[in-house]
């Protein structure tokens, strides 16, 4: 009896003992780790394997190349707390291995890391303020339905094509830039709505950025004529990138997002000194030569996801102009001396789950830039279409995926060195890729 009383007394003391306080700082580690083995029957860009977005050429002897890729491996660090101004502060830094090959004969298996996103945020119950480098609202993390890596709203589901999804150059636009991002959620019971706004730095990547010339605009002296070589044509416009997005989630069954983008590009000094893109001497005041006025970048589009398990449907599309800085126009940064280049794309993916873990996914997407503008500007790729099928096993973060993908790219000519034949006009290039991937998502 005494033993029973003692045990009851100890239990009472344990129940009355205060719980240890929550840690003041919370650290989290997320990412994906694994690798892919693949076979391709042609050349692809920007590079083979996990980064393939369109076809470049077919080998003259129709050989198959074998390869392996670990570049999409990703690590995301975050640290949160304590409370500041009534909100929870958080810092995030995310890296992957798409930073390019290192030097030496083994550079392709000693690849460099690359920063993806890094930002500080302050989150209140329904509003989050982020400052730093983050995904654009057109194709970024959706705070209602989960990260883009899950295929929840922004990109198609995949195991081997996560950071460079199959919908890039085939129906989706959006990249990552420094800026200010505000997300405001409107609770609706099981349903949710979010309004997101962002202001990001201007963007336009091209080797002939301002500073590439050598003629001073006023004196004609041989100095850099405009800012520095680190200033791109988007920054030079003096206009940031503005984006807005509205997202609605009907429980876990339906998600819809609509977005808009506006920015500008200053083509005045795109070209070799002493003339710019208009063939006009750089000493001529800006805006006085035809075609040298600031050009507009815009994009409108949306994404959806319908979860009717065992069937899952998702897709998206956009229309815009001068979208290369957003991964549009097949990353060609068309010569702005040719004027505006319009662009549209769309993609869709259907999935069927045989079991909770095993599913079959079919993807199709396309991108259609203005072929006449691309030809005038000297760009090569005119159109792109992608189809893919994937059998995926996914359980507790562990994924196996076997993916077959076919790229069909129309071009207005390519060098003989690529495919062993003379350049031709409006040639269709076809490349097939067979990829097996194993990844742990955590």
Q: Phi and psi at residue 369, in whole multiples of 5°?
A: -75, 170
Q: What is the band of 234 on the pLDDT scale with cuts at 50, 70, 90?
A: confident
Architecture (CATH level 2) of domain 24-441: Beta Barrel (2.40)
State the average pLDDT over residues 305-326: 93
> d(Cα 47, Cα 54) in Å, to the nearest integer?
9
Given a cut of 70, is residue 415 above it in pLDDT? Answer: no
> d(Cα 193, Cα 246) in Å, to the nearest integer?
7
pLDDT tens digits for range 114-132? 999 999 999 999 999 999 9
Could you check whether the bond before residue 61 is cis, i.e. omega within 30 degrees of 0?
A: no
Cross-strand partners of 398? 395, 440
Q: What pLDDT is attached to residue 81?
A: 86
- Dihedral (C-alpha) 48, 52, 54, 60: value to the nearest 10 degrees? 20
> d(Cα 98, Cα 163) in Å, to the nearest integer?
9
Q: What pLDDT is attached to residue 294?
A: 79
State the average pLDDT over residues 14-20: 60
Q: What is the DSSP string of 163-213?
A: SS-TTBTTTB---EEEEEEEEEEEEETTEEEEEEEEEE------SS-TTSS
Q: What pLDDT is attached to residue 74?
A: 94
- Mapped onto helix, strand or coil, the DSSP state of residue 14 is helix
> d(Cα 130, Cα 126) in Å, to the nearest integer?
13
State the average pLDDT over residues 156-171: 94
Domain ranges for the chain: 24-441
pTM for the whole structure: 0.85
Q: What pLDDT is attached to residue 270?
A: 54
More confident residue, 270 or 198: 198
pLDDT tens digits for range 372-399? 888 877 788 899 999 999 999 999 999 9
More confident residue, 61 or 106: 106
In this structure, what token pair is assigned to residue 32? 């994906």
What integer best gives the mean pLDDT of the chain?
82
Q: What pLDDT is attached to residue 143?
A: 45
In this structure, what token pair is assigned to residue 12? 């009472």
**Cβ distance 127 to 112 under 8 Å?**
no
Q: What is the band of 269 on the pLDDT scale with cuts at 50, 70, 90?
A: low
State the average pLDDT over residues 81-94: 92
Q: What is the DSSP string of 229-251?
A: TT--HHHHTT--EEEEEEEEEET
Percentage above 90 pLDDT, the chain: 55
Given a cut of 70, is residue 258 above it in pLDDT? Answer: yes
pLDDT tens digits for range 166-220? 999 999 999 999 999 999 999 888 888 999 999 999 988 754 444 444 444 444 4
């Amino acid at each position: 009896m005494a033993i029973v009383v003692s045990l009851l007394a100890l239990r009472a003391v344990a129940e009355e003992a205060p719980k240890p306080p929550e840690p003041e700082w919370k650290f989290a580690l997320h990412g994906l780790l694994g690798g892919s083995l693949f076979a391709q029957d042609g050349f692809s860009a920007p590079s083979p394997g996990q980064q393939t977005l369109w076809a470049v050429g077919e080998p003259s002897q129709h050989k198959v190349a074998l390869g392996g890729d670990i570049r999409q491996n990703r690590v995301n660090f975050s640290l949160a707390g304590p409370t500041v101004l009534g909100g929870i502060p958080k810092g995030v830094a995310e890296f992957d291995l798409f930073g390019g090959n290192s030097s030496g004969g083994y550079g392709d298996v000693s690849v460099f890391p690359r920063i993806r996103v890094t930002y500080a945020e302050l989150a209140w119950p329904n509003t989050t303020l982020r400052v730093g480098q983050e995904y654009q609202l057109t194709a970024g993390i959706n705070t209602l339905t989960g990260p883009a890596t899950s295929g929840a709203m922004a990109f198609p589901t995949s195991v081997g094509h996560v950071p460079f999804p199959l919908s890039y150059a085939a129906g989706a636009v959006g990249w990552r830039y420094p800026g200010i991002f505000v997300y405001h959620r409107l609770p609706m019971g099981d349903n949710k709505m979010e309004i997101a706004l962002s202001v990001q730095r201007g963007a336009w990547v091209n080797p002939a950025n301002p500073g590439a010339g050598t003629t001073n605009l006023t004196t004609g002296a041989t100095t850099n004529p405009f800012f520095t070589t680190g200033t791109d044509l988007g920054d030079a416009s003096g206009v940031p990138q503005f984006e807005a997005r509205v997202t609605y989630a009907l429980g876990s069954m339906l998600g819809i997002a609509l977005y808009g983008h506006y920015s500008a590009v200053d083509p005045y000094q795109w070209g070799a000194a002493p003339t710019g893109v208009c063939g006009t001497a750089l000493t001529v005041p800006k805006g006085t030569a035809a075609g040298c006025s600031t050009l507009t970048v815009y994009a409108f589009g949306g994404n959806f996801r319908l979860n009717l398990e065992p069937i899952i449907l998702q897709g998206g599309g956009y229309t815009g102009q001068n979208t290369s800085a957003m991964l549009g126009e097949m990353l060609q940064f068309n010569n702005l001396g040719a004027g505006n280049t319009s662009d549209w794309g769309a993609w869709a993916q259907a999935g069927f789950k045989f079991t909770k873990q095993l599913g079959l996914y079919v993807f199709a997407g396309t991108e259609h830039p203005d072929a006449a503008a691309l030809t005038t500007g000297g760009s090569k790729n005119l159109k792109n279409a992608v189809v893919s099928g994937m059998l995926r096993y996914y359980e507790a973060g562990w994924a196996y995926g076997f993916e077959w993908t076919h790229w069909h790219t129309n071009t207005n000519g390519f060098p003989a060195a690529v495919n062993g034949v003379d350049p031709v006009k409006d040639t269709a290039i076809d490349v097939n890729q067979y990829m097996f991937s194993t990844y742990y998502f955590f």
